[in-house]
Structure 1
């Protein structure tokens, strides 16, 4: 296994640890994966629909709020791509998210809702391993009927003969 492949696998494992911590509402595990030290104040997150949050403390607070108000969440990651350059790594992926409300009175699962978010996660190499520096999630708003030509390729797009 080449060093690049080993590094990419280590980054992918750190990325998965991040999602596992959120899924299990394990704030201690999340704190362990989020960057500390001199760059702690530059840690940032953009949750879908939220403004940019900066600083390790504010980022962890946001996750604590999400964990406290989310009964169930599960991530199925697809399209995972990892790039490593020195002490910085970039992960892009699609978060196929399944969330649920409180359990029904009979103990059965509450209603489940699915959604798609594209995410960019930036990791920084530390003596303790790869740590999350930036997470940016953006909801996928396009439906299945969107043209294969990409965003903005519908009627009225530049060069569209139907203009």
Structure 2
């Protein structure tokens, strides 16, 4: 069953544009723009690093409102995006570089995220954001593809 349409439409017609709008909303703590990235489906899901699975637009809104109330804008920048796209769905595996202010100053943390998009009647929208803590070293993925130098 579908939820009521979001009041603020996200401009753009591709998963990449919705992803850019999602990260811009994080960086500006804009809850309306954030929620406009999500599909109007009951089963949309969000998992923050180390957190529970949050289901539905109302719960996802509340989770992001809590993040913004506690931390303000989240300085998360997507890097090393890998894509698996089809006509009606897209899966993006993302390394997020997050700036965190600590008592010792600004440090970079890494989060590994999977963002899933579906093509809906309203255009492309996010249906899943699943984030997990990343490692602090330089190797954030294992790629079994042999590297050949020519």
Tell me the TM-score normalised to structure 1 length: 0.70
Matched pairs, number: 129
SS of aligned partner of 2:29: coil
Give the C-alpha shift of residue 82 in structure 1. Answer: 2.0
User: What RMSD over aligned residues (CA atoms) do the two structures have, in Å?
Assistant: 2.4
Higher helix share: 1
Higher-Rg member (1/2): 1
Give the C-alpha shift of residue 12 in structure 1. Answer: 1.1
Give the C-alpha shift of residue 88 in structure 1. Answer: 1.1
- After superposition, the C-alpha distances for 1:67-117 in whole angstroms (9 at most, x for unaligned) are 11113421221111222222111111100001337xxxxxxxx94332100
1:14 aligns with 2:18: yes
1:132 aligns with 2:126: yes
Kept in 1, the 8 Å contact 2:109–2:136? The answer is: no
What residue is the counterpart of 1:23 in the other structure? 27
Following the alignment from structure 2 to structure 1, what is the Cα–Cα distance between the partners of residues 125 and 38? 5
1:118 aligns with 2:112: yes
Tell me the TM-score normalised to structure 2 length: 0.76
